[in-house]
């Protein structure tokens, strides 16, 4: 037993076999790994292709030791992804991937001639440009119009096209074909996708060819021997200006101040009621407060226009007629979602000694009304305009108050004060693919031609988008005022005012006019992204017929002009503005006032116009 006891003690004290030994203790602060931890697979950073595992942090790149200041070791090739290609710049990405090849004749895809990518200075060394942020934009437009129509046409006193027509009014059918080609070019500097250009040079030329055929002589030409049809052409300069942003952009919304000098487009209000033209001038404009506040300060020297095309005639001396404009826009003024505009416009006319005959031989200044003496005037227009929405109702409105002095009223040959008002409002409601519109307009008329106040409202150069626009018969057609001068019209083409002017393009404003009242309703139906149907109905009245009674030597003339009904179909086969086709028809159902003033050979009460228009844009 004594021998066995030490042996047992030795067995208890002997170390176990190596495979049975406990794992060694881990150093302080570390945890010993177990066999099951060695069997865990590595973490997959991507559970779904393109998405990383939450909480996964990729291994850090190899430490870079900066040995000399300014030098960093280039990353190894494997650091770059293999599914990406280097490109020259962001504008040529699609072309670098081989998806699009630039073509001069392709107006839809990216094109350097449309300003989609900057000019390569190396390819145009003759251009004085530096850097890679100069763009060139070319716009080419073909505008074709065919328009058969009827309107009251006076019979010539000296001669007539048909000897059987001896009444005051003859056949009322005429037709017009007009083809206009517009070419615009712009050179501008700046990353235009993200901010306005810092400088821009623009030139736009318009060439018009028109053919008119009417049934009576002395409608197109003053000479009775000239035929009753005319083919005419003219080349006009519609834009030629330099635009320079001389202030730095103040914030990420790119508020700016810019100055523009030259022949430029300008629209004094949202719908073009007062002054919407392309004239020679200087304009300072800009924005502040993240574009919530905008302003314009402008001075314009009105150019003479071609009689038959209405384009700018820059080879003729400008008119002695100046327009000075100051306006300010404020978004969310009065109520949210409404933009308010306050406007002050001063029209200074000094053409009393300027006798002008148009290219067809008719006098345009002074107009053939009253004493036929020259006129000049100073008029201030105070205006408030609003555009936006109230709830779901879209709202556009304008109000103008004209104050000033006419130095020589053509009724009295005395100075007269000008005090006239204008108001227009259009509300619309959108329901899915439909829009329903209500329109109303008021222009005061002169109540007494022989007093020392002229109360008929007239604009400087109106071209409104309102109450059906040029689809409307009254807005589209010019009604000659027979008896008050063959070269005087009740209204002007592309205008709503009954101003009794010789022409909107070459005549003077006339504040001795009968005024206008209009109520209308219309609707637009976007049947597809390519096809729209529109319909409009207006009822028109003269606001005051006192002026008409004196000029016609009549005791009373009713105010009712009649109902103006129109419809239009617009088709854009590519769902873009590159190809736009429009077919519209309008009729005027004459009221008692219109029938009292005008007639036609057949005595019909209805007058109509059809407009077929195709616009191609590159």
**Separation between Cα atoms, residue 408 and residue 378, nearest integer Å:** 11
| Residues paired with residue 230 on neighbouring β-strands, in sequence order | 212
More confident residue, 191 or 478: 478
User: How many whole angstroms separate alpha carbon 361 and alpha carbon 374?
Assistant: 18
Min mean pLDDT across 68-72, 344-348, 445-449, 525-529 is at 68-72
CA nearest neighbour of 205 among 278, 282, 301: 278
Question: Does residue 253 register a pLDDT over 90?
Answer: no
Residue 261 is assigned to a structural domain of this protein: yes
What pLDDT score does 605 carry? Answer: 86
CB 474 within 8 A of CB 565: no
What are the residues facing 378 on neighbouring strands? 348, 405
- Confidence check: pLDDT of 570 > 50: yes
Contacts of 569 (CB under 8 A, 6+ apart): 531, 532, 533, 534, 582, 583, 584
- The CATH code of the domain that includes 290 is 2.40.160.100
| pLDDT (tens digit per residue) in 315-357 | 999 999 999 999 999 999 888 899 999 999 999 999 999 899 9
How many Cα atoms sit within 13 Å of 129 on the Cβ side?
A: 23
Q: What is the mean predicted confidence (pLDDT) over 233-254?
A: 84
Whether 251 is covered by a domain: the verdict is yes
CA-CA distance, 460 to 505, in Å (whole number)? 10
Region of 388 on the Ramachandran plot (φ > 0 left; ψ -120 to 50 alpha; else beta): left
Q: By the 8 A CB rule, do 508 and 411 touch?
A: no
- Buried-state track 223-235, b at ≥16 Cβ within 10 A, e below 16: eeeeebebebebb
Residue 81 lies in a domain: no
Q: How confident is the model at residue 245 (pLDDT cuts 50, 70, 90)?
A: confident
Q: 377-390 and 293-301 as β-strands: parallel, antiparallel, unpaired? A: unpaired
Maximum alpha-carbon separation in the chain: 164
Mean pLDDT of 30-40: 51
- The arithmetic mean of pLDDT across residues 299-303, rounded, is 97
pLDDT for the residue 129: 84
As to burial, measured by CB atoms within 10 angstroms (0-12 exposed, 13-18 middle, 19+ buried), residue 523 is middle
Confidence of residue 209 (pLDDT cuts 50, 70, 90): very high
**pLDDT higher than 50, residue 594:** yes
SS3 17: coil
Does pLDDT of 407 surpass 70?
yes
The DSSP call for residue 591 is -
Question: What's the number of domains the chain is made of?
Answer: 1
Contact 424, 441 (CB under 8 A): yes
Name the pLDDT band for 72 (thresholds 50, 70, 90). low
What backbone phi and psi angles, to 5 degrees, belong to 291? Answer: 70, 15
| Angle at the Cα of 583 from the Cα atoms of 501 and 396, rounded to 5 degrees | 60
pLDDT of res. 196: 76
Q: Is residue 369 part of a domain?
A: yes
DSSP 341-354: EEEEEEEEE--TT-
18 inside domain: no
Distance CA 528, CA 552 (A): 50
pLDDT of the residue at 221: 87
Q: Determine the pLDDT at residue 115.
A: 81
Q: Which of 82-96, 128-142, 190-204, 476-490 shows the lowest mean pLDDT across its residues?
A: 82-96
Give yes or no for residue 611 having a pLDDT over 90: yes
Please state which of the ranges 46-50, 203-207, 333-337 shows the lowest mean pLDDT.
46-50
Whether the upstream peptide bond of residue 3 has omega within 30° of 0, thus cis, is: no
Residue 54 sits at φ, ψ, to 5 deg, of -60, 135
Output the pLDDT for position 158.
57
Asked if the model's pLDDT at residue 23 lies above 70, the reply is no
This prediction's pTM:
0.82
b/e map of 354-383 (b: 16 or more CB within 10 Å)?
A: bebebebebbbbbbbbbeeebbbbebbbeb
Domain assignment present for 24: no
Instruction: Give a yes or no: residue 257 inside a domain.
Output: yes
**Residue 187: inside a domain:** yes
Q: Which of the two residues, 548 and 118, has the higher pLDDT score?
A: 548
User: Lowest-confidence range among 204-213, 500-509, 558-567?
Assistant: 500-509
Which of 304, 410, 322 has its CA nearest to residue 358?
A: 304
Mean pLDDT of the region 170-176? 87
**CA separation (Å) from 221 to 148, 224, 507?**
20, 7, 17
Q: What is the mean pLDDT of the chain?
A: 85
Residue 121 has pLDDT above 60, yes or no: yes
Full residue range of the structural domain in which residue 313 is found: 135-617
* Per-residue tokens: 153: 């046409």
Neighbours of 564 (CB within 10 A): 26
- Inter-residue contact 305 to 316 (CB < 8 Å): no
Under the banding of pLDDT at 50, 70 and 90, the label for residue 389 is very high
Element (H, E) at 282: strand 276-288
Least confident of 167-176, 459-468, 515-524, 544-553: 167-176
The per-residue pLDDT for 598 is 87
| pLDDT single digits (tens) 412-443 | 999 999 999 999 999 999 999 999 999 999 99
Task: Check: CB of residue 347 under 8 Å from CB of residue 323.
Answer: yes
pLDDT greater at residue 125 or residue 602: 125
Averaged pLDDT, 235-244: 96
Residue of 217, 249, 240 whose CA lies nearest to 230: 217
């Amino acid at each position: 037993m004594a021998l066995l006891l030490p042996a047992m003690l030795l067995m208890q004290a002997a170390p176990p076999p190596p495979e049975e030994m406990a794992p060694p203790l881990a150093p302080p602060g570390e945890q010993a790994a177990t066999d099951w931890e060695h069997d865990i697979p590595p973490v997959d950073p991507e559970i779904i292709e393109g998405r990383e595992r939450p909480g996964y942090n990729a291994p850090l790149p190899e430490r870079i030791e900066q040995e000399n200041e300014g030098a960093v070791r280039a990353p190894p090739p494997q650091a770059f992804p293999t599914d990406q290609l280097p490109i020259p710049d962001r504008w040529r990405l699609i072309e670098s991937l081989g998806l699009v090849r630039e073509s001069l004749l392709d107006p839809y895809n990216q094109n350097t001639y449309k300003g989609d990518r900057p000019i390569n200075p190396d390819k145009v060394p003759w251009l004085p440009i530096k850097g890679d942020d100069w763009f060139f934009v070319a716009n080419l437009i073909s505008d074709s119009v065919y328009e058969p129509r009827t309107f009251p046409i006076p019979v010539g006193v000296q001669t007539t096209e048909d000897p059987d027509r001896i009444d005051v009014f003859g056949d009322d059918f005429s037709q017009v074909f007009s083809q206009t080609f517009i070419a615009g070019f712009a050179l501008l500097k700046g990353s235009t996708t993200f901010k306005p250009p810092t400088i821009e040079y623009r030139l736009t030329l318009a060439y018009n060819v028109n053919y008119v055929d009417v049934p009576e002589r002395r409608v197109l030409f003053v000479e009775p021997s000239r035929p009753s049809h005319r083919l005419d052409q003219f080349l006009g300069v519609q834009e030629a200006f330099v635009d320079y942003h001389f202030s730095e952009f103040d914030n990420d919304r790119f508020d700016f101040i810019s100055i523009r000098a030259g022949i430029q487009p300008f629209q004094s209000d949202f719908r073009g009621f007062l002054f919407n033209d392309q004239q020679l001038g200087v304009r300072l404009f800009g924005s502040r407060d993240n574009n919530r506040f905008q302003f314009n300060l402008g001075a314009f020297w009105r150019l003479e226009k071609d009689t038959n095309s209405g384009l700018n005639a820059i080879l003729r001396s400008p008119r002695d007629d100046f327009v000075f404009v100051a306006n300010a826009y404020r978004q969310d003024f009065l109520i949210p979602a409404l933009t308010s505009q306050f406007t002050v416009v001063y029209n200074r006319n000094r053409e009393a000694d300027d006798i002008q005959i148009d290219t067809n031989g008719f006098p345009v200044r002074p107009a053939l009304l009253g004493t036929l003496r020259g006129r000049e005037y100073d008029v201030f227009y105070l205006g408030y305009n609003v555009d936006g929405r109230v709830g779901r109702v879209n709202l556009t409105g304008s109000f103008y108050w004209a104050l000033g002095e006419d130095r020589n009223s053509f009724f009295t040959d005395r100075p007269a004060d000008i005090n006239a008002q204008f108001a227009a409002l259009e509300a619309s409601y959108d329901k899915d693919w439909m829009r329903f519109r209500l329109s109303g307009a008021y222009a005061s008329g002169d109540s007494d031609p022989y007093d020392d106040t002229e109360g008929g409202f007239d604009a400087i150069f109106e071209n409104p988008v309102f109450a059906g626009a040029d689809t409307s018969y009254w807005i589209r057609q010019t009604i000659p005022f027979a008896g008050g001068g063959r070269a005087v019209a009740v209204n002007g083409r592309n205008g709503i005012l009954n101003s009794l002017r010789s022409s909107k393009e070459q005549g003077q404003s006339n504040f001795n006019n009968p005024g206008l009242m209009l109520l209308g309703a219309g609707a637009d139906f976007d049947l597809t992204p390519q096809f729209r149907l529109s319909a409009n109905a207006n009822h028109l009245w003269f606001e005051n017929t006192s002026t008409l009674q004196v000029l016609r030597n009549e005791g009373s003339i009713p105010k009712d002009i009649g109902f103006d009904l129109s419809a239009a179909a617009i088709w854009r086969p590519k769902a873009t503005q590159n190809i736009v086709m429009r077919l519209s028809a309008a009729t005027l159902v004459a009221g008692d006032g219109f029938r009292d003033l005008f007639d036609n050979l057949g005595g019909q009460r209805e007058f109509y116009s059809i407009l077929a228009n195709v616009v191609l844009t590159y």
